[in-house]
């Protein structure tokens, strides 16, 4: 790549063709100045490379690096910085706004058009409009990263809330980010305090720092005003303040940028600054050198590209080829810079800033920043690919959903089935198209999508096939019009397969979109789509034998092309017309359609800029035509070097669909008087960020004339700002400075889209825990208390808290509340969450803290803390018991489910049963399980199990403790699972003890009844234990016995079993537990599995946006959630305990468990016993003859039991008995 530079620069050759001339007719209608160039002679952009030729060598070095990074996936840059001034002749037309750029201006980018124009907002004044990206470079210096990120969040939040969300404003979260960002900047530059040597030495630095802080103080003040306005619920006022805040935030960033520039100057005075010589501005400070780390994807082979064009356009081929290769060879420093900003398209290399997405991006017109706020419901545009993806996914799912729902109605009519499948397949096809668009959009990440896309395609096809098979083969014995249930099963399977595969595919696609930036996508609904051959569904049953070729067809063209096996991801496009098509040729490189063009200076205003390529928003749509365009463009290139000062921007309606451009007057201002943020007219229909802009438009006065350039006052230049109004509020600056110097770790927190903390460093989490602005989130606090031992030691926590107590002292305004909170955290810990065995190590530290630091400030609190510290070491258990499940639904409220005055149900015990138990206790013979009412057995089991369940402590469930050291750390979990297993064994044992088939059947029936009662009591743990035992191989295989059990009972067992079926991740049980109010005893094992996988499936740490490795708090939140859910059920039943029966049950279970302890494998011995009772051969013979009853066994369970207790192991007892 560096060798490309060896050729002398001929800037004229580097100009990329502009592929937008075709809408020219459109544009000229609105043009207010004549176009001096013919349509095909579009002037390329004015890139000031001439002036930068002296930087040649420098750039060369860069280039090497960039080449190395050539294969990096493309990145959408959120911020750009102009390195060359740009003055459009006509800033505003009827419909569009083109922004003038001063060198050094920083722009927040909303979207970038393929032609190189970006829709952005100038931070300097909040003006929004189009600007040429080739005048800019990516701006993302490490020091600023935190602040820039904060600004994005700020912007998105402001946009999402629209001033109505008091919750968001309440906690002032958005302010913290900005402040933390500024702090981060100052910290990284070693200028945090006024006294730092750097600040002391350099006057410029000092002034800029002050100016920055003053701006920050303004924002803080404004935020306060917002808070007040909020209370007044004056929407208008609120919106006004919001506007102002956005501007203020912009200015903070601007000043931050300037500050950094000055600093860079100080640091590297010898390095020639790039733009100094050419800067149009007088005393302008040169910008920082281009970011070095920007991604760069090498242009795709220019020759190949040109060649491909040559095929299509013989006339211009030669020329094009020449241009293309020449361009490739003649990289200039300027280009290098550009390419460092974006990945470039080949012939458009120097100009194509538009390639943030990447090289092979022939299709889209715009790439957008994906906002954290997601697609806002306020968004006007529906044509963003992310939105389209979601919409298609939703449609598809709803079709499938209703289809699946209908399948459950057993008799499905054939026509309705066909219709439903057709609907589903069609919507699925549309979804595939969206995925394909993303694929074509970005070749670098295609591999990622390919497989899941293929999987999804296969599944949909599967569904169609299944439906076709069913429709094509009506069962003769069935009513013709009805689908039989068995087929329903197949369809159901196919449909759920679709749902799953689709989910996966969509998730991946979203990930890719996030990576490459959102972009515009337009399709006529239904007019295109990956269509599945639905002809089989066309209710023509005769075509039973018609061969079905798995093909997709473009519906418009109507042609069906069979797919080759390898092209499963490629949709063959057959239509030769200009019908929009999606090409999925993933295997082959995407064509380089040089739509990536540059801003056109001196170009007639009338030229519609993005609109030109808009119809090309579909890949391949008119590949041919664009080739023609580009070819002709490259022929018509070679413009003179731009005359920058007179450069004018082409402006026009964006949308050829709306030539009237009614949006033209839709300019928005943040503050109408002072500054005008003009936004492009098409904003509401075109841009990704327009959801924001539309909010702004609602909230602000509509300025009909966005004369941002006319009023100099409204357009402060970059250099102006630094000196502006710094003196006016020196005091506030001090104020904010003190606030800024407040040590904070806010930038070390990671949030998810719902605003919950998902990660953070320990100091950051502690800061969150002791925040002064608002009451801490209950879920956060309880999660923290419950899980902190998993991510730090008690000592580390104590130290972090003490440190928090200390450093907050530097900021007097918030010190008092924060310190009180810090004390409260200690108090809560000692009172309710202390665990002596692990936390003891921190006790001395806590005492020391209380005696010294706390006592000095809050003497009474210190006394209380010391008190507690004394108590915890001697008290067993929490001083102030508190259900951790305050995090979920409170356990305390759980008791309300059953009022305490509800009369206890009377035990279902007869006198004889009671007597039998009394006799047993006195040493008499033991009653049999058959002697008791199933209801009462179920009740007593439930009481017993619930008491075990309630004793499970949350800490036992952390860190998979119950699986380690043989469950020593989780005694209650162990006891509970041992009981459940014991119950299972008891069931098998009681059945296998009888030699008579009928007796065994009787016991089986009895247990089914007990299980049924457990189910009525919502005791799913016992239900699981009993059904497991009944379906255990050793029981299940007793065919003769089961033949004796009535069909009704077997059916009952089946339905009981289905409620605790572990398939599909306990789907049935989860559904039952979901809304279940206590009392209810869930199956503990399910929670244990969940907790295990939360533990192993989520890493302990994650990396924040700023590259910091922080605690993955999300993992702990999930753990706490699961534990909270378990605790929700830790509420005893209100049932009468029958002590004797309990005792008898326990004895029985213990008896079985004894065998376990004796070392025999209970399962194996049961199996052997089972084999003896009903040997294999006999089963195969299927004789109905009962085996002879061996005399030795005696009769009934007692004899057998006694023999068991006599012989120490079951194995022997079991074996010897029947023989």
Partner 1 sequence: MPSRYAYQPVREYHVVVLGAGGVGKSCLTAQFVHNEWIESYDPTIEDSYRTQVSVDGRQVVLEILDTAGTDQFVAMRDLFLKSGQGFLLVFSIASRSSFDELATLREEILRIKDDDMIPIVMVGNKADLEDQRAVDRARAFSVSRSWNAPYYESSARTRTNVDEVFIDLCRQLLRREDLLEEQARDDLGQKLDDAAAKKRRRRKRKEKCVIL
Binding to partner 1, residues 757-816 (CB under 8 A): 758
Q: Measured on CA atoms in the order 555, 557, 562, 564, is the torsion positive or negative?
A: negative
How many chain residues interact with partner 1 (CB under 8 A)?
73
Single out the residue of 1051, 1061, 1105, 1150 in contact with partner 1 (rule: CB under 8 A). Answer: 1061
Nearest-approach distance from CB 126 to partner 1, in angstroms? 33
CB nearer to partner 1: give 737 or 1032: 1032
Q: Which of residues 455-474 bind partner 1 (CB under 8 A)?
A: 455, 458-459, 462, 465-466
CB nearer to partner 1: give 160 or 404: 404
Euclidean distance between the first and the last CA atom of the chain, given in angstroms as a whole number = 88
**The two structure tokens encoding residue 327:** 């361009």
Q: Does 1055 bind partner 1 (CB under 8 A)?
A: no
CB nearer to partner 1: give 105 or 989: 989
Q: Which of residues 985-1004 bind partner 1 (CB under 8 A)?
A: 985
Neighbours of 1203 (CB within 10 A): 17
Helical segments of 993-1032, H only:
997-1016, 1020-1031
Single out the residue of 474, 967, 1187, 1196 in contact with partner 1 (rule: CB under 8 A). Answer: 967
For the chain, helix, strand, coil in percent to 5 are: 60, 5, 35
Q: Does 1085 bind partner 1 (CB under 8 A)?
A: yes
Single out the residue of 208, 395, 523, 981 in contact with partner 1 (rule: CB under 8 A). Answer: 981
Phi, psi of 589 (to 5 degrees): -65, 145
Please give the sequence-ordered ranges of beta strands (E in DSSP) within 97-151, or none if there are none: 106-113, 117-122, 128-132, 136-138
Single out the residue of 260, 392, 677, 1029 in contact with partner 1 (rule: CB under 8 A). Answer: 1029
CB nearer to partner 1: give 453 or 747: 453
**The two structure tokens encoding residue 1021:** 């743990």
Please give the sequence-ordered ranges of beta strands (E in DSSP) within 719-774, or none if there are none: 749-751, 757-760
Q: Does 504 bind partner 1 (CB under 8 A)?
A: yes
Single out the residue of 188, 406, 882, 974 in contact with partner 1 (rule: CB under 8 A). Answer: 974
Beta strand 518-519 pairing with 749-751? unpaired
CB nearer to partner 1: give 880 or 1164: 1164
**Which residues sit opposite 760 in a β-bridge?**
749, 1111
CB nearer to partner 1: give 59 or 494: 494
Nearest-approach distance from CB 507 to partner 1, in angstroms? 5
Taking contact as CB under 8 A, which single stretch among the options 76-84, 481-489, 525-533, 627-635 is the one that binds partner 1?
481-489
Strands of 749-751's sheet, edge to edge? 749-751, 757-760, 1109-1111, 1101-1103
Chain centre to alpha carbon of residue 914:
60
Nearest-approach distance from CB 1161 to partner 1, in angstroms? 8
Single out the residue of 1091, 1145, 1149, 1160 in contact with partner 1 (rule: CB under 8 A). Answer: 1091
**The two structure tokens encoding residue 165:** 């969300």
Neighbours of 1033 (CB within 10 A): 10
Q: Which of residues 554-593 bind partner 1 (CB under 8 A)?
A: 565
Distance between CA atoms of residues 797 and 179, nearest Å: 25
Taking contact as CB under 8 A, which single stretch among the options 46-54, 428-436, 528-536, 1057-1065 is the one that binds partner 1?
1057-1065
Single out the residue of 239, 700, 798, 984 in contact with partner 1 (rule: CB under 8 A). Answer: 984
CB nearer to partner 1: give 3 or 507: 507
The answer to whether residues 872 and 879 touch, using CB atoms and an 8 Å cutoff, is: yes
From residue 1132 to residue 1171, the character string flagging contacts with partner 1 as x (rule: CB under 8 A) and all else as - is ------------------------------xx---x----
Nearest-approach distance from CB 967 to partner 1, in angstroms? 7
Which residues neighbour 132 within 8 Å (Cβ) at sequence distance 6 or greater? 45, 86, 101, 116, 117, 118, 353, 598, 599, 649
Whether a cis peptide bond, with omega within 30° of 0, leads into 1132 is no
Nearest-approach distance from CB 489 to partner 1, in angstroms? 4
Nearest-approach distance from CB 371 to partner 1, in angstroms? 17
Nearest-approach distance from CB 1035 to partner 1, in angstroms? 9
The answer to whether residues 684 and 110 touch, using CB atoms and an 8 Å cutoff, is: no
CB nearer to partner 1: give 1048 or 1070: 1070
Q: Does 500 bind partner 1 (CB under 8 A)?
A: yes
CB nearer to partner 1: give 301 or 1085: 1085
CB nearer to partner 1: give 520 or 955: 955
Distance between CA atoms of residues 457 and 525, nearest Å: 19
**The two structure tokens encoding residue 1038:** 């007793």
Single out the residue of 62, 1118, 1128, 1169 in contact with partner 1 (rule: CB under 8 A). Answer: 1118
Helix (H) or strand (E) holding 519, with range, is: strand 518-519
CB nearer to partner 1: give 486 or 775: 486
Q: Which of residues 401-420 bind partner 1 (CB under 8 A)?
A: none
Nearest-approach distance from CB 837 to partner 1, in angstroms? 22
Nearest-approach distance from CB 166 to partner 1, in angstroms? 28
CB nearer to partner 1: give 911 or 1176: 1176
Q: Does 454 bind partner 1 (CB under 8 A)?
A: yes
In three-state secondary structure terms, 812 is helix
CB nearer to partner 1: give 518 or 839: 518
Nearest-approach distance from CB 832 to partner 1, in angstroms? 27
Neighbours of 843 (CB within 10 A): 19
Nearest-approach distance from CB 112 to partner 1, in angstroms? 25
Helix (H) or strand (E) holding 1102, with range, is: strand 1101-1103
Distance between CA atoms of residues 1144 and 723, nearest Å: 89
Nearest-approach distance from CB 505 to partner 1, in angstroms? 10
CB nearer to partner 1: give 436 or 602: 436
Which residues neighbour 867 within 8 Å (Cβ) at sequence distance 6 or greater? none
CB nearer to partner 1: give 196 or 451: 451
Nearest-approach distance from CB 565 to partner 1, in angstroms? 8
Nearest-approach distance from CB 556 to partner 1, in angstroms? 29
From residue 1062 to residue 1081, the character string flagging contacts with partner 1 as x (rule: CB under 8 A) and all else as - is xxxx-x--x-----------
Taking contact as CB under 8 A, which single stretch among the options 48-56, 226-234, 944-952, 1029-1037 is the one that binds partner 1?
1029-1037
Q: How many C-alpha atoms does 626 have within 13 Å on its Cβ side?
A: 31
Taking contact as CB under 8 A, which single stretch among the options 38-46, 646-654, 671-679, 956-964 is the one that binds partner 1?
956-964
Q: Does 1031 bind partner 1 (CB under 8 A)?
A: yes
Distances (CA, A) of 962 to 514, 1077, 1081: 40, 27, 19
Distance between CA atoms of residues 676 and 717, nearest Å: 14
What long-range pairs does 923-927 form, CB within 8 A, spacing at least 24?
A: 925/1198, 926/1144, 926/1147, 926/1148, 926/1197, 926/1198, 926/1201, 927/1144
Q: Which of residues 879-938 bind partner 1 (CB under 8 A)?
A: none
The answer to whether residues 533 and 464 touch, using CB atoms and an 8 Å cutoff, is: yes
The maximal CA–CA distance of the chain, rounded, in angstroms, is 116
From residue 511 to residue 540, the character string flagging contacts with partner 1 as x (rule: CB under 8 A) and all else as - is x-----------------------------
CB nearer to partner 1: give 624 or 1068: 1068
In three-state secondary structure terms, 758 is strand
Q: Does 1090 bind partner 1 (CB under 8 A)?
A: yes
Single out the residue of 140, 956, 1114, 1174 in contact with partner 1 (rule: CB under 8 A). Answer: 1114
**The two structure tokens encoding residue 1130:** 């830790």
């Amino acid at each position: 790549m560096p060798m490309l530079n060896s050729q002398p620069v001929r800037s004229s050759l580097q100009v990329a063709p502009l592929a937008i001339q075709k809408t020219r007719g459109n544009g000229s209608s609105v043009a207010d100045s004549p176009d001096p160039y013919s349509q095909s002679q579009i002037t390329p952009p004015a890139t000031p490379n001439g002036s930068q030729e002296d930087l040649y060598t420098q750039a060369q070095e860069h280039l090497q690096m960039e080449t190395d990074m050539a294969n990096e996936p493309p990145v959408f840059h959120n911020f750009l910085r102009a390195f060359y001034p740009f003055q459009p002749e006509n800033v505003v037309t009827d419909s569009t706004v083109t922004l003038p750029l001063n060198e050094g201006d920083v722009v927040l980018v909303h979207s970038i058009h393929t032609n190189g124009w970006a829709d952005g907002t100038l931070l300097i004044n909040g003006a929004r409009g189009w600007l040429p990206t080739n005048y800019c470079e990516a701006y993302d210096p490490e020091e600023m990263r935190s602040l820039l990120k904060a600004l994005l969040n700020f912007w998105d939040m402001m946009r999402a809330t629209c001033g109505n969300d008091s919750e968001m404003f309440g906690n002032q979260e958005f302010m913290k980010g900005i402040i933390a960002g500024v702090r981060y900047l100052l910290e990284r530059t070693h200028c945090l305090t006024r006294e730092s040597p750097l600040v002391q030495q350099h006057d410029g630095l000092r002034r800029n720092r002050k100016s920055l802080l003053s701006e920050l103080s303004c924002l803080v003040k404004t935020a306060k005003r917002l808070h007040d306005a909020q209370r007044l619920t004056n929407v208008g006022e609120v919106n006004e303040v919001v506007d102002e805040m956005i501007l203020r935030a912009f200015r903070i960033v601007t000043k931050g940028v300037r500050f950094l520039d000055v600093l860079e100057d100080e640091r590297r005075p010898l390095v020639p600054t790039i733009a100094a010589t050419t800067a149009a501005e007088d005393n302008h400070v040169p910008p920082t050198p281009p970011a070095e780390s920007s991604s760069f994807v090498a242009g795709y082979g220019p020759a190949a590209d040109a060649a491909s064009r040559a095929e299509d356009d013989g006339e211009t081929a030669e020329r094009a080829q020449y241009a293309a290769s020449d361009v490739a060879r003649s990289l200039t420093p300027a280009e290098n810079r550009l390419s460092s900003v974006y990945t470039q398209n080949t012939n458009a290399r120097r100009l194509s800033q538009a390639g943030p997405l990447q090289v092979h991006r022939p299709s889209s017109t715009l790439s957008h920043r994906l906002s954290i706020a997601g697609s806002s419901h306020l968004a006007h545009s529906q044509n963003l690919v992310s939105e389209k993806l979601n919409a298609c996914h939703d449609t598809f799912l709803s079709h499938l959903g209703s289809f699946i729902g209908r399948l459950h109605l057993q008799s499905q009519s054939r026509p309705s089935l066909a219709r439903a499948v057709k609907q589903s397949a069609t919507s699925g096809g549309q979804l595939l198209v969206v995925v394909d668009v993303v694929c074509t959009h970005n070749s670098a990440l295609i591999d990622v999508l390919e497989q899941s896309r293929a999987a999804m395609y296969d599944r949909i096809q599967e569904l169609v096939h299944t439906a076709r098979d069913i429709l094509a083969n009506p069962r003769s014995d069935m009513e013709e019009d009805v689908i039989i249930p068995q087929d329903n099963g197949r369809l159901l399977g196919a449909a759920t397969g679709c749902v799953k595969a689709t989910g996966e595919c969509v998730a991946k696609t979203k990930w890719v979109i996030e990576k490459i930036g959102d972009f515009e996508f337009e399709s006529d609904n239904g007019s295109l789509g990956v269509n599945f051959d639905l002809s089989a569904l066309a209710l023509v049953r005769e075509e039973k034998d018609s061969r079905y070729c798995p093909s997709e067809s473009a519906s418009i063209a109507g042609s069906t092309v069979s797919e080759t096996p390898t092209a499963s991801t490629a949709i063959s496009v057959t239509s030769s017309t200009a019908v929009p098509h999606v090409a999925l040729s993933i295997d082959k490189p995407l064509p380089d359609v040089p739509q990536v063009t540059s801003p056109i200076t001196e170009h007639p205003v009338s030229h519609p800029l993005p609109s030109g390529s808009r119809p090309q928003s579909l890949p391949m749509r008119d590949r041919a035509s664009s080739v023609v365009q580009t070819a002709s463009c490259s022929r018509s290139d070679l413009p003179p070097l731009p005359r920058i000062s007179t450069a004018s921007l082409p402006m026009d309606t964006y949308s050829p669909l709306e030539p009237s451009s009614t949006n033209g007057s839709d300019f928005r201002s943040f503050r109408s008087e002072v500054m005008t943020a003009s936004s492009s007219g098409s904003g509401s229909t075109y841009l990704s960020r327009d959801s924001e802009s539309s909010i702004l438009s609602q909230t602000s006065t509509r300025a009909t004339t966005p004369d941002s350039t006319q009023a100099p006052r409204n357009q402060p230049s970059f250099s102006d700002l630094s000196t502006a109004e710094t003196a006016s509020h020196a005091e506030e600056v001090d104020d904010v400075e003190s606030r800024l110097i407040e040590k904070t770790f806010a930038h070390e927190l990671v949030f998810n889209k719902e605003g919950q903390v998902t990660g953070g460093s320990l100091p950051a989490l502690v800061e969150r825990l002791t925040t002064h602005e608002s009451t801490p989130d209950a879920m956060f606090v309880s999660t923290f208390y419950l899980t902190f031992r998993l991510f730090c030691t008690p000592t580390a926590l104590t130290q972090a808290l003490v440190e928090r107590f200390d450093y907050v002292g530097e900021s007097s305004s918030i010190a008092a509340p924060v310190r009180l909170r810090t004390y409260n955290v200690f108090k809560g810990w000692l009172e309710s969450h202390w665990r002596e065995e692990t936390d003891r190590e921190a006790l001395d530290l806590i005492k020391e803290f209380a005696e010294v630091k706390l006592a000095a400030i809050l003497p009474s609190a210190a006394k209380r803390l010391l008190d507690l510290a004394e108590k915890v070491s001697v008290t067993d258990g929490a001083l102030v018991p508190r259900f951790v499940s305050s995090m979920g639904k409170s356990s305390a409220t759980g008791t309300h489910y059953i009022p305490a005055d509800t009369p206890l149900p009377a035990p279902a015990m007869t006198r004889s049963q009671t007597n039998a138990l009394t006799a047993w206790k006195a040493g008499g013979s033991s009653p049999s399980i058959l002697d008791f009412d199933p209801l009462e057995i179920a009740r007593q089991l439930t009481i017993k199990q619930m008491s075990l369940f309630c004793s499970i402590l949350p800490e036992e469930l952390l860190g998979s403790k119950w699986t380690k050291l043989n469950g020593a750390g989780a005694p209650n979990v162990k006891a509970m699972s041992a009981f459940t297993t014991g119950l299972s064994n008891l069931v098998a044992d009681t059945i296998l003890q009888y030699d008579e088939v009928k007796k065994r059947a009787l016991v089986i029936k009895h247990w089914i009844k007990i299980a049924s009662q457990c189910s009525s009591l919502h005791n799913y743990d016992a239900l699981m234990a009993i059904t497991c035992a009944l379906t255990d191989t050793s029981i299940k295989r007793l065919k003769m016995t089961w033949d004796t059990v009535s069909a009704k009972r077997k059916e009952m067992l089946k339905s009981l079993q289905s409620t605790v079926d572990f398939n599909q991740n306990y789907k049935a049980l989860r559904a039952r537990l979901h809304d279940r109010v206590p009392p209810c005893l869930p199956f503990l094992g399910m929670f244990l599995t969940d907790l295990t996988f939360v533990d192993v499936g989520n890493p302990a740490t994650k990396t924040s946006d700023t590259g910091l490795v922080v605690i993955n708090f999300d993992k702990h939140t999930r753990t706490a959630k699961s534990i909270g859910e378990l605790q929700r059920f830790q509420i005893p039943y209100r049932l009468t305990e029958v002590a004797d029966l309990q005792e008898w049950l326990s004895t029985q279970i213990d008896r079985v468990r004894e065998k376990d302890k004796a070392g025999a494998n209970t399962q194996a011995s049961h199996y052997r016993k089972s084999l003896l009772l009903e040997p294999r051969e006999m089963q195969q013979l299927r004789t109905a003859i009962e085996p002879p009853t061996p005399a030795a066994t005696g009769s009934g369970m007692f004899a057998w039991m006694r023999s068991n207790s006599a012989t120490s192991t079951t194995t022997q007892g079991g074996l010897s008995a029947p023989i």
